[in-house]
Amino acid sequence: MKAIIFDLDGVVVDTAKYHYLAWRKLAEELGFAFEEEHNERLKGVSRMRSLEIVLEVGGLTGMSEVQKQELAERKNGYYLNMISGIDQSEILPGISQFISRQKRAGYKIALGSASKSGRMILEKLGLADQFDAIVDGNLAERAKPDPQVFIKAAELLGVPCSECIVIEDAAAGIDAALAGGMKCIGVGGKAILGKADIVVPDTEALSGIEML
């Protein structure tokens, strides 16, 4: 193994809570409740697919593509406002140390995220310079479980997919990594992430892993 590709939400930083709050605010404006259990369906998927799921929850149909785009942009505005003040204090436990240790060990490091704000968030966290490649929703058109985002990251790193390890917290991300021919570490519950090569309960537990 020569490279590690990190998902963003739930692995490097918990921006998922801000996505949820932004979708919930939009749903309230549209006249229905969007609860945390509904939000589980949004993990690892693109903004437009997330909007489709939110509209399904609300039973709203028949919207034009223009209307959908307006709603997606409105939600993104809420989200960007919410994350405007994030800083290093929101990096998930153990991640900074884990990245530093793997870089010292010679691994190349990349981001592979569906979020179009990926680079901006890493800069706010003070981590951007630790990543040799950053692939976010601005570079990858196809959402997970399509492996495009991870394959692009491997290409930018100049490392074969078979020599990359992905760290993910979503089932769609695990499926994407495996579809791309990569090894995968899941962060979270085995019931959801059982397809991964290794599953750890949280980011702090990554420090105990001997890389594959």
pLDDT at 30: 97
pLDDT at 116: 83
* Mean pLDDT of the region 68-75: 96
Asked whether residue 23 is marked as a ligand-binding residue, the answer is yes
CA quadruple 176, 111, 36, 186: dihedral sign: positive
Burial of 14 (0-12, 13-18, 19+ CB in 10 A): middle
Which domains, ranges and CATH numbers included, belong to the chain? Answer: 3-13+89-208 (3.40.50.1000), 16-83 (1.10.150.240)
Two tokens at 80? 């960007």
Asked whether residue 50 is marked as a ligand-binding residue, the answer is yes
Question: pLDDT tens digits for 12-64?
Answer: 999 888 999 999 999 999 999 999 999 988 876 778 889 999 999 999 999 99
State the pLDDT confidence band at 168, using cuts at 50, 70 and 90. very high
Catalytic residues: 7, 9
Burial of 104 (0-12, 13-18, 19+ CB in 10 A): exposed
pLDDT at 64: 96
Asked whether residue 96 is marked as a ligand-binding residue, the answer is no
pLDDT at 167: 98
Q: Is the pLDDT of residue 212 over 60?
A: no
Question: pLDDT tens digits for 118-149?
Answer: 999 999 999 999 999 999 988 988 888 999 99
Nearest by Cα to 8 from 157, 151, 121: 121
Cβ proximity of 74 and 6 under 8 Å:
no
Asked whether residue 74 is marked as a ligand-binding residue, the answer is no
Question: pLDDT tens digits for 170-206?
Answer: 999 999 999 999 999 999 999 999 999 999 999 999 9
- Going by the DSSP 8-state scheme, the letter that residue 88 receives in this structure is G
Instruction: Give the H/E segment covering residue 175.
Output: helix 171-179
pLDDT at 122: 96
Asked whether residue 113 is marked as a ligand-binding residue, the answer is no
Nearest by Cα to 212 from 192, 201, 197: 197
pLDDT at 113: 93
Asked whether residue 117 is marked as a ligand-binding residue, the answer is no
Question: pLDDT tens digits for 74-133?
Answer: 999 999 999 998 999 999 999 999 999 999 999 999 999 988 889 999 999 999 999 999
For 66-75, letters b (16+ CB in 10 Å) and e give eeeeebbeeb
Cβ proximity of 47 and 85 under 8 Å:
no
86: left (phi over 0), alpha (psi -120 to 50) or beta: beta
Distance (Å, whole) CA 109 – CA 28: 39
pLDDT at 161: 98
* Mean pLDDT of the region 62-69: 96
pLDDT at 211: 63
pLDDT at 40: 83
